Structures are given as structure tokens and as C-alpha cells.
Amino acid sequence: MKKNHDLIFIPLFLFLSWSTTSSAQSAKVDPEKKVKELGIHLTEPAAPTANFLKAVRIANLVYLSGHGPDKPEGGQVTGKLGSDLTIEQGQEAARLVGISLLSSLKKEIGTLGKVKRIVKVLGMVNAVPTFTNHSQVINGFSDLMVQVFGIDGKHARSAVGVGSLPGNIPVEIEMIVELK
């Protein structure tokens, strides 16, 4: 005859195994340290070129205006996906947009350690009408956010194709960030 405590052991064992794994996955990442480990240099953001702000803080949310792919040596990446740039080049451009957004975010809040999570992202891809891999391009940005913030870098996201972007940049991204 089986005892009831044998039946309880299995679910309890599964719960403990799951909670240990879950805790390891949700371990907090120090975003300032991760940025350095990844060899990323956050720069002083340039002033807006028109009558808008790069970041607006409302309570514990920061809304960041659309940013483009700023090159470390100056200037921006240009070109259209599907004619001038490959998906991989678009992903690298999206990653550069992420670095630009992190620079503006850090200027606004002082330290990336104040970020609770990346909430929402809108990625716009300058592409020919037949290009259909917009989400793959924006993965270059999303992957960087997860590298920097861990699970807190995962976000809701839209990736859309557009006929053109300012200065013929290939990618423009805006994001909403929740603070601790």
C-alpha cells in the first residue's frame, strides 16, 4: 500500500526544481556592468534637431523619442533594407540604435541601474516594398536589451516597415522604460 506522502513528494520535488531554475533565470543583472562587459561606450547624446525632447519622464516611466543608428565614429548608418543593406547590416544598425537609446536613457535617469524593465518598443524599418523581415532587423535591438538587462530587457514590441526615414537611416526605434 502506497502512502500519501509519496504522492506529495513528486509534486514538491518538481516545484522545488522549477523554482530553483526560475530563480537563476531571473537573477538581477547589473546593466552598468553588462554595458562595460559588452564593450559598449555610451556617449553624450546630441541635442534634438527640432522642437522636441529625446526623453520625457512621467512618474516611473520614461518615454524615449525615436533614435537612429549613430556610428561610434560619428554620423549615422544610412540605406534601405532590401536594396542597400542586408538583414545582418540592419540588425547591426538596430543594435546601434539601442546604444543610442541607452545613452539618452542614462542621461535622463543617471544610471541604468534604475531601470525596472523595458516595457514597449516601436521599431521602424526603412525598406523596399517587397522586404518582409522587419522583425528580424529589430531583433538586433531586442537582443541587446536582453544582454544588458537580462529578463527585464524583454519587452512588448512592434516592428513595421516604412517607405523612408529621416536622412535615409535604415532603422528608427522608440521605447518606453519603467523605473524602480
Domain hosting residue 73, numbered range: 28-179
Distance separating alpha carbons of residues 149 and 47, to the nearest angstrom: 26
pLDDT at 28: 79
8 Å CB contact between 170 and 67: no
Q: How confident is the model at residue 29 (pLDDT cuts 50, 70, 90)?
A: confident
Does the structure show a pLDDT above 80 at 27? no
Distance separating alpha carbons of residues 62 and 125, to the nearest angstrom: 23
Distance separating alpha carbons of residues 171 and 53, to the nearest angstrom: 19
Q: Report how many domains make up the chain.
A: 1
Q: How many residues does the chain have?
A: 180
Return phi, psi of residue 122, to 5°.
-120, 115
Q: What are 5's three cell numbers?
A: 506522502
CATH number for 61: 3.30.1330.40
In which element (H, E) is residue 118 found?
strand 115-126
* Helices of type H across the chain: 4-25, 31-37, 87-109, 134-149
DSSP 8-state assignment for residue 176: E
pLDDT at 3: 52
Express each pLDDT in 98-126 by its tens digit.
Answer: 999 999 999 999 999 999 999 999 999 99
| CA geometry: angle 143, 145, 151, nearest 5 deg | 95
Q: How many CA atoms lie within 13 A of 108 on its CB side?
A: 25
- Does the residue 20 lie in any domain? no
- Does the residue 11 lie in any domain? no
Percent of the chain, pLDDT > 70? 85
Does the structure show a pLDDT above 70 at 66? yes
Note the pTM of the prediction, 2 decimals: 0.85
Return phi, psi of residue 83, to 5°.
-130, -50
- Does the residue 108 lie in any domain? yes
8 Å CB contact between 29 and 152: yes
| CA geometry: angle 142, 54, 128, nearest 5 deg | 55
Please, what is the average pLDDT of the chain? 89
- Does the residue 125 lie in any domain? yes
pLDDT at 109: 98
| CA geometry: angle 127, 155, 97, nearest 5 deg | 45
